[in-house]
Structure 1
Amino acid sequence: MGTIMQRKKKDGSLSYTAVIRKKKGGKVVLTLSETFPSHQAAKRWMRNAERDLKGKNAVERAIADRHRKTWADVIQDYSDASPKGFGKTKTANLAYLQRLDFGKIAVEDTDDHVFFTLAQDLLKGVQARPADPREDSPEHYTLKPRLPQTVNSYMATLRTVVLYGGPISNITMPIQAFETAILSLRHQDMVARSDRRTRRPSLEELDRLLTYFYARYQANSRCVPMHKIIGAAITLAHRQKALCSLPWVDVDETRARIQIRNMKHPRRTQGNNVTTWVTEEGLKIILSMPRDRDRVFPYNADAVSRLFTDACKIVGIVDLHFHDLRHEAISRFFETGLGGGSRDIIMRYTGHSPDGSLSRYIHVEQVGDKYADWKWWPVLFAPL
């Protein structure tokens, strides 16, 4: 029989690790262990595992299985082999797939049904074990259903491992089985591409936000000057992470250029440093910031996004994301005919490549500049 070890976690709750050891000739030849949030779950796993190991040659097969590559193994190999790493979303998706039960499945035992079941579980809201074992609890595994677009993100990330991870792990990948599963998932509407957003803020909505944030900053200058960051977003057309990462050394005031390091890209974010042109208003906002820190906007990008979302709720603005300000900026570039309205010139400001996704940001609503004589320009241009 195996043993169950009880451990008290930092939050005061208990975890239970079931351990099974098999010996041959006095030596341990196989060790199996799993950790569970309840003693009952650990006992059930141990009972089932002991039963499975009683079959003919079951121990030998289990030993052989320990040397086979699982999906957690090949995902790790794939990640370790990348010299530049991956973006935030892909890294998180890969780590999550490793922690799911799917990560324990041997690659050679994977068929199209395994891939289909993985997506089905993700859609239902099956939760992987937490990255921090101290956060493990029965409540953690409560189903949290996901949208087909979210499932599609996980499956698209896994597809890169299926397509390119074979030579890295020296294993034959079930590419055809994966593609067959995806066809069925699309047919059943279990995976779907993200809806194309066309949301732009109105001047009235921006007035509400800037009034709120400017008053907040005037009351306490230690607050993040969100009015400046919003102004930068609608004049520079960059994401909050790019804005908050911009160092002063990458600002060329004379030529009105900035360099965006590791600009987000579907295939090569790391090392994708792009020099972009800067609008006159954007440069004025940059130069209005103090130079007492290494970065122009020395704030946490996640905090900026959270502050923006919270403010929208406070001032009564529905369904507006910080990223929508990038849509606003690029659409305005076309409405005002920036650079003569040339797509090639506007890409110099946005940082898109000719084969990039510029079109998804263009939602032209008028001809001309709705920001002409905007009352907020003096505030945004004033030294902080």
Structure 2
Amino acid sequence: MASFTLEKRKTSKGVLRYRCVVRLKKGNDVVYRESRTFGKKADAKAWGTALVSKLETHGLPGKNPEVTVRELLIMYLNEPYIAKSIGRSKRYGLNMLIDTELAKIQANKLTVANLVQHCKDRNDAGTSPQTVSGDISYLRSVLRAAKPIFGIDVNDSVVQEAYYTLYQHNLIAKSNRRSRRPDTSELNRIKVELRKRQEHHAAHIPFLDILDFSILSCMRIGEVCKILWEDVDEGTRAVKVRDRKDPRKKEGNHMWVPLLGEAWEILNRQPKSCDRIFPYNSKSVSAGFQRVRSSLGIQDLRYHDLRREGASRLFEQGFSIEEVAQVTGHRNLNTLWQIYTELFPNRVHEKFNSLQRLKQMDQEL
């Protein structure tokens, strides 16, 4: 039987630490013992609970237990060091997979046919191929972690083999590329209503400044609400954006972002009453925007579309893709290239018309 105990300890510097000791007994003999120390009691307890569950389900490490996809999913979700990096959408998707027929299959006996059937069932239930694609992607990440993290000899080759068939039959698909930008009228109407909202006696969020700053800086709203005064560089008029989103690197991806035009002025007029420049909950900011948008009857406009609006404006002003990437933080230029190519036909027409006007002026002279 497996169990764990928690021990409270202090370091030589007086810092409180929590040691979790996990034991597996056979009769009166301890046949397995492992311990780990944490700074938080909750982390120690979570690790102990996960390891006890793993030992109870799969026995001693070193063996290759026959686990179902469901068991593997639960182990993945309960592993403390994995759990910290799982986003909200992925967590929701993994929990959904736990209750599917696919989860009942032994993990090392998954076949392409099993994955095809899962995708068919999801499509028949009205789920879009784009969403089903998320199922397969999330499952693949779990299978890839099985051997190095849990010592279970499972790999993701079955998913790799299935991709061609799934795409070929439109059972999964890439997400639709958004190109939505607010027009001038929509932005003006939204600003009028946001001004009313921020002027309410109980309001404290400067919605207008945050909206304009979001467009001008091309930052995500989560990034806007995290930037610190200590990360502002007066000399270069730039700010360090910490842990910028990057699919290849979740943490430590810091980047200096130049604040162009009015963005610098907006930043400097914020009160220095907190370590953060915009010390507000990003969800409250986007929720306020969404309420105003909905009340105005503006369709299919998300706060994140303001980031695309900012990038589009930079392209329209003549900045190169590499220069725009310095502002937006894109490591892969494909996304920016898509925005640029959407704008490019209009820019070609504008340049042609401009050249025609110059030619006509020369002829008149």
Contact 1:116 1:182 in 2 (8 A): no
The equivalent residue for 2:116 is 116
Partner SS state of residue 357, structure 1: helix
For the Cα contact (< 8 Å) 1:84–1:270, is it kept in 2?
Answer: no
Uncovered stretches (5+) of structure 2, i.e. residues with no partner:
1-57, 348-365
Match of 1:364 in 2: 343
Q: Secondary structure at the match of 1:183?
A: helix
Kindly provide the amino acid, as one letter, of the partner of residue 94 in structure 2. L
Distance 1:308 1:75, change over 3 A: same
Give runs of aligned pairs for residues 27-66 of structure 1, distance below 5 A. none
CA distance in structure 2 between the partners assigned to 1:189 and 1:254 by the alignment: 52
Q: Percent identity?
A: 28
Q: State the Cα RMSD in Å.
A: 2.9
Letter in 2 for 1:261: R
CA distance in 2, matches of 1:253, 1:100: 54
Further displaced range: 209-218 or 312-321: 312-321
Runs of 4+ in 1 over 6 A off after TM superposition: none
Counterpart code for 2:152: I
Asked whether the 8 Å contact 2:65–2:152 carries over to 1, the reply is no
Show the 5 A alignment for 1:259-298. Answer: 259-298=240-279
Aligned counterparts of 1:361 and 1:179: Cα–Cα separation in 2: 30
What is the alpha-carbon distance in structure 1 between the residues aligned to residue 312 and residue 88 of structure 2? 27
**What is aligned with 2:207?**
226
Q: How big is the shift at 1:298?
A: 1.9
Q: Give the match for residue 321 of structure 2.
A: 343
2:90 counterpart residue number: 90
CA, structure 1 residues 294+70, in 2 after alignment: closer, same or farther (shift >3 Å)? farther
The equivalent of 2:159 in structure 1 is 178
Other-structure match for 1:352: 330
1:229 Cα offset (Å)? 1.6
Q: 1:166: Cα distance to partner?
A: 3.0
SS in 2 for 1:275: strand
Whole-angstrom distance in 1 between the partners of 2:279 and 2:343: 32
TM-aligned CA deviation for residue 192 of structure 1:
1.0
Shift of 1:322: 0.9
Residue matched to 2:299: 318
CA distance, structure 2, for counterparts of residue 273 and residue 88 of structure 1: 22
In structure 2, C-alpha distance between the alignment counterparts of 1:324 and 1:167, rounded to whole Å: 39
SS state of the match for residue 259, structure 1? strand
Q: 1:303 to 1:190 in 2, by over 3 A?
A: farther
TM-score, normalising length from structure 2? 0.68
CA distance, structure 1, for counterparts of residue 200 and residue 141 of structure 2: 49
SS at match of 2:97: helix
Aligned residues: 282
**Which amino acid in structure 2 is aligned with residue 233 of structure 1?**
S
Q: Contact between 1:235 and 1:281, CA under 8 Å: does it hold in 2?
A: yes
TM-score, normalising length: structure 1: 0.65
Q: Is the contact made by 1:85 and 1:270 (CA closer than 8 Å) also made in structure 2?
A: no
1:124 Cα offset (Å): 4.4
For residues 272 and 95 of structure 1, what CA distance do their matches in structure 2 show? Answer: 28
User: Secondary structure in 1 aligned to 2:343?
Assistant: coil
Give distance in 1, aligned partners of 2:178 and 2:238. 29
Pick the aligned partner of 1:216 from 184, 193, 197.
197
Give the direction of change, closer, same or farther, for the CA distance of 1:67–1:166 in structure 2 (3 Å limit). closer
CA–CA distance in 2 between the matches of 1:163 and 1:75?
12
CA contact (8 A) 1:148 1:191 kept: yes
The residue that corresponds to 1:26 in the other structure is none
Unaligned runs of 5+ in 1: 1-61, 126-144, 368-384
**Structure of greater relative contact order (alpha carbons < 8 Å, 6+ residues apart):** 1
Higher mean displacement: 355-364 or 254-263: 355-364
Asked if 1 retains the 8 angstrom alpha-carbon contact of 2:213 and 2:266, the reply is: yes
